[in-house]
Chain A
Amino acid sequence: GAVVSQHPSWVICKSGTSVKIECRSLDFQATTMFWYRQFPKQSLMLMATSNEGSKATYEQGVEKDKFLINHASLTLSTLTVTSAHPEDSSFYICSATGTKNTEAFFGQGTRLTVV
């Protein structure tokens, strides 16, 4: 299957700092990328959808100024958690799909801990 690489796998940061997470599609052109958040023992919650070259569409309740998403190319999307707080600690996962894909392919996830 197609490969999506997410980096970093885990990160610990101080409260108030910003963290950038990268999501790359390695062997296909990802026209659409999705960012999810998963708290312990809960389901994946869609945060936003981004299409290459256009602004991301955020789900209700997700602050666009706090979670900055950039999808400047067909192989890379980034999520920046700005002014992180302990309550932002979570497992963040990206997924990508291309025009020839019906299913979504997932990155390995990033475990963010804000202290």
Chain B
Amino acid sequence: RKEVEQDPGPFNVPEGATVAFNCTYSNSASQSFFWYRQDCRKEPKLLMSVYSSGNEDGRFTAQLNRASQYISLLIRDSKLSDSATYLCVVRDNFNKFYFGSGTKLNVKP
């Protein structure tokens, strides 16, 4: 069983749409949770950390459900520049980071 599982997509949405990504993790002792964005042939870059109470950064909202071991990312008012692969990342209690396979988003005009 994979440490972190994500729907690979791709999600093809028009500009202005709202899109949601989900992620589940297997280790209940996981400590920290993140969403990273990876553009083609580039390194992943931190998009936002995910806190237990849920958090928002502009058009992006992240939520964590520890009981269900589930993380989500909501993107509102999608822009063309949001097209990328979104990686769900979990840090375990031994300080190791595990990546989901990524969800590809294509925002079309």
Q: Which residues of A contact B (CB under 8 A)?
A: 1, 6, 32, 34, 36, 42-44, 46, 49, 91, 93, 95, 97, 102-109, 111
Contacts and interface: CB of A to CB of B under 8 A. Distances in A.
Contact of A46 (B32, B43, B46, B98): B98
Given A97-B95, A102-B91, A103-B32, A109 B101 contact: no
A44 B99 contact: yes
Contacts of A102: 32, 49, 91
Nearest to B2: A43
16 contacts: A34-B96, A36-B99, A43-B100, A44-B44, A46-B97, A46-B98, A46-B99, A93-B43, A93-B44, A103-B32, A104-B97, A108-B42, A108-B43, A109-B42, A109-B43, A111-B41
Question: Sorted from nearest, which 9 A-B pairs have the closest CB atoms?
Answer: A43-B101, A106-B43, A44-B99, A109-B43, A104-B97, A102-B32, A103-B46, A108-B43, A93-B43
A44 B3 CA distance: 13
Interface string B33-62: 010000001111110010000000000000
A104 to B, nearest CB: 5
Contacts of B43: 6, 93, 106-109
Contact of A42 (B34, B44, B45, B101): B101
A34 B46 CA distance: 16
A16 to B, nearest CB: 27
B104 to A, nearest CB: 9
A106 B44 contact: yes
